[in-house]
């Protein structure tokens, strides 16, 4: 599904990504795990075509892809920071998204619990409901790879359970997810494959079972594994 090879990127001479390489199997939920400043968002922007690497390449669906428009035909991207039209009412914005993506609602609005705020202007929504609208944009299409940057930010523990189940349901349909997550507890609940990133470098990758073999025990939590991988 996705092959990243030797990506390098720097800003003002400071390296942000340093020789980053990994593969993501089709049909998985993969988490890019790392602290703030690890290079997660920059990595996702390069994968989706919003940034250009200094060197390295990205392969999607078995071929090298460099064109932004070609990438967008395969990838649905939810950036961490995006301003949604503040004066729109929620239902009007949903109609706009569904019209643009030719999506016929099959329960997405209900799953995201957006009906309860349908007649509210977007500027008056809480952070959690704005996050739900961002997820609606990402999910309202049939693209096979969904790249979501911090998709669970802004949800309380009860709300998070519903969102995690929605991602799992979409994954069961065959869609592949690449998620940037800084909350390791959330990552453990949803991901079946992990890329551990620190200071722009991949320090470990694999399933939780594979990571435990290399950096912990059969009972190690992801946080313990990550700390061990940094040593």
Residue 43: count of CB within 10 angstroms of its CB? 29
Q: 186 pLDDT band (50/70/90 cuts)? A: confident
- d(CA 69, CA 61) in angstroms, rounded, equals 15
pTM: 0.89
Q: Is the pLDDT of residue 158 over 90?
A: no
The answer to whether the beta carbons of residues 38 and 195 sit under 8 Å apart is no
109-120 pLDDT tens trace: 998 999 999 999
pLDDT at 93: 93
Q: 84 pLDDT band (50/70/90 cuts)? A: confident
Q: Is the pLDDT of residue 105 over 80?
A: no
Identify any residues that bridge with 202 across adjacent strands, giving them in sequence order.
197
Q: Is the pLDDT of residue 3 over 90?
A: yes
211-222 pLDDT tens trace: 999 887 778 888
Burial of residue 158 (CB within 10 Å: 0-12, 13-18, 19+) is exposed
- Using a pLDDT cut of 90, give the percent of the chain over it: 53
- Using a pLDDT cut of 70, give the percent of the chain over it: 100
Residue 52: count of CB within 10 angstroms of its CB? 10
- d(CA 167, CA 156) in angstroms, rounded, equals 16
**CATH classification number, 2-81+143-230, choose in 3.40.50.300, 3.40.50.1010, 3.40.50.2000, 2.60.40.2140:** 3.40.50.300
- Return all residues near 105 (Cβ < 8 A) that are at least 6 apart: 98
Average pLDDT of the chain? 89
Beta strands in the chain (DSSP E): 2-11, 14-24, 29-33, 55-60, 63-64, 75-78, 145-149, 176-181, 193-198, 201-206
Q: How is the chain split into domains, by residue range?
A: 2-81+143-230
What single-letter DSSP state applies at residue 124?
G
What single-letter DSSP state applies at residue 41?
H
- Inter-axis angle of helices 127-139 and 90-101, nearest 10: 20
- SS3 state of residue 182: coil
């Amino acid at each position: 599904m996705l092959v990243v090879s030797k990506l390098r990127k720097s800003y003002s001479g400071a390296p942000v990504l340093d020789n980053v390489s990994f593969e993501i199997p089709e049909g998985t939920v993969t988490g890019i795990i790392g602290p703030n400043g690890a290079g997660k968002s920059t990595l996702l922007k390069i994968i989706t075509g919003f940034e250009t690497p200094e060197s390295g390449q990205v392969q999607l669906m078995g071929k090298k892809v460099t064109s932004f428009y070609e990438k967008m035909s395969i990838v649905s991207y939810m950036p961490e920071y995006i301003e949604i039209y503040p004066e729109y009412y929620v239902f009007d914005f949903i109609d706009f998204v569904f019209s643009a993506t030719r999506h016929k609602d099959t329960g997405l609005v209900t799953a995201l619990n957006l009906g309860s705020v349908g007649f509210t202007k977007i500027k008056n929504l809480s952070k959690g409901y704005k996050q739900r609208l961002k997820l609606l944009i990402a999910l309202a299409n049939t693209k096979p790879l969904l790249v979501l940057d911090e998709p669970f930010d802004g949800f309380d523990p009860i709300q998070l359970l519903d969102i995690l189940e929605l991602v799992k349901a979409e994954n069961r349909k065959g869609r592949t997810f690449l998620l940037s997550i800084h909350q390791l507890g959330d990552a453990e609940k949803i991901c079946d494959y992990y890329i551990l990133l620190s200071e722009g470098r991949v320090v470990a990758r694999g399933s939780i079972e594979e990571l435990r073999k290399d950096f912990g025990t059969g009972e190690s939590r992801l946080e313990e594994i990550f700390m061990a991988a940094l040593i």
